[in-house]
């Protein structure tokens, strides 16, 4: 992982996202790109506003504000992180498009869990960013402070499409010297898929090429509850999953999601891969 993109809109939640991303970049030796997406004044706006939004002077001012709003505390140990700043137009370009053009490996988004804030930050909701992004998206709840990553969990339903995501996580676990867990939640109303589980484990181990991984099976009335309990008991630092569509992510991180509530309460970052 070499490039991390952080959308920044000067809100408190985007600041939490930046400082988490900064610490993460420092721990793995990655480069950080901070981008502010702003909308050009519409035709209905005053012409002076449009001139100010488009002028080189205004762009320089925004860049200066970005740097001033993302200063690292001088009282802490200095960390060597390459940070670059850029601007984009919200009406012309989306975060996912920008990330693809800049060949970033990860998007880190600070979020308070409210749709209004996410819309302000990205010009679209979190689900849309994840759905369109070519790379994983890491959602950081406000109040989350970075700590050394020791346990990463990947929620799986034994889908072969999970293999690529787990392989990428295996590399992250290797770099951060953390433990990778694969967690499958069995519904109490159903049966455990032991045969499918064994086949999946064998395929994952082959794909990881010797990198360590722990397979876990949990039982609960629903997936969200099972993930919440597993993450709490095993002190998981990052929960990851593959989202097949927008409804999948909304189920896990939507307005009424138990997992979202757990993430916000325990300040647990959620990492989404989109197929």
pLDDT for the residue numbered 50:
55
Residues in the chain: 275
- Domain locations in the chain as residue ranges: 3-141, 151-274
Q: Encoding tokens for residue 139?
A: 């959602």
Is the pLDDT at 217 greater than 60, yes or no? yes
Q: Which option is the CATH number for 3-141: 3.90.1570.10, 3.40.50.620, 3.30.428.10, 3.40.50.12780?
A: 3.40.50.620
- The model's confidence at residue 247, banded by pLDDT at 50, 70 and 90, is low
pLDDT at 118 over 50: no
By C-alpha distance, which of 135, 118, 129, 138 is closest to 271?
138
Q: What is the pLDDT of residue 255?
A: 52
Fold of the CATH domain 151-274: Rossmann fold (3.40.50)
Q: What is the pLDDT of residues 9-50, one digit of tens each?
A: 888 888 999 999 999 998 888 999 999 886 654 444 445 555
Please report, for residues 3, 153, 170, the alpha-carbon distance to residue 26 in angstroms, rounded to integers and kept in the order given. 12, 22, 19
Tens-place pLDDT, residues 144-187:
888 888 999 998 888 888 898 899 899 888 888 899 999 998 88
Tell me if 3-141 shares its fold with 151-274. Answer: yes
pTM, to two decimals: 0.80
Pick the closest to residue 20 from 80, 66, 68, 70 (CA basis). 70
CB 134 within 8 A of CB 100: yes
- pLDDT tens for residues 189-215? 766 666 678 889 999 999 998 888 999
- Could you tell me if residue 29 is left (phi over 0), alpha (psi between -120 and 50 degrees) or otherwise beta? left
List residues bridging with 37 in a β-sheet: 88
Specify the long-range contacts of residues 201-207, CB closer than 8 Å, at least 24 apart: 203/160, 203/163, 204/163, 204/166, 207/163, 207/166, 207/167
Angle at 226 between CA 149 and CA 272, to 5 degrees: 50
Q: What is the structure's pLDDT at 39?
A: 60
């Amino acid at each position: 992982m070499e490039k991390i993109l952080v959308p920044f809109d000067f809100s408190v939640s985007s600041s939490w996202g930046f400082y988490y991303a900064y610490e993460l970049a420092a721990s793995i030796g990655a480069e950080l790109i901070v981008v502010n997406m702003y909308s050009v004044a519409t035709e209905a706006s005053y012409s002076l506003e449009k001139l100010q939004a488009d002028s080189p002077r205004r762009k320089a001012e925004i860049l200066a504000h970005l740097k001033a709003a993302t200063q690292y505390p001088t009282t802490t140990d200095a960390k060597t992180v390459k940070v670059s700043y850029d601007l984009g137009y919200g009406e012309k370009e989306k975060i996912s498009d920008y990330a693809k053009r800049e060949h970033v490996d990860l998007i880190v988004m600070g979020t308070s869990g409210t749709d209004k804030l996410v819309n302000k930050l990205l010009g679209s909701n979190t689900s849309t960013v994840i759905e369109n992004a070519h790379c994983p998206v890491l959602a950081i709840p406000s109040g989350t402070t970075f700590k050394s990553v020791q346990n990463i969990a990947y929620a799986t339903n034994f889908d072969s499409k999970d293999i690529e995501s787990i392989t990428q996580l295996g590399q992250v676990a290797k770099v951060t010297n953390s433990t990778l867990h694969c967690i499958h939640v069995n519904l109490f109303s159903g049966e455990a898929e032991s045969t499918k589980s064994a086949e999946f484990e064998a395929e994952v181990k082959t794909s990881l090429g010797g990198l360590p991984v722990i397979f876990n099976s949990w039982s609960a009335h629903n997936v969200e509850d099972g993930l919440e309990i597993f993450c709490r008991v095993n002190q998981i630092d990052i929960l990851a999953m593959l989202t097949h569509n927008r409804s999948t992510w909304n189920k896990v991180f939507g307005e009424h999601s138990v997992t979202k509530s757990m993430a916000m309460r325990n300040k647990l970052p959620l990492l989404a891969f989109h197929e």
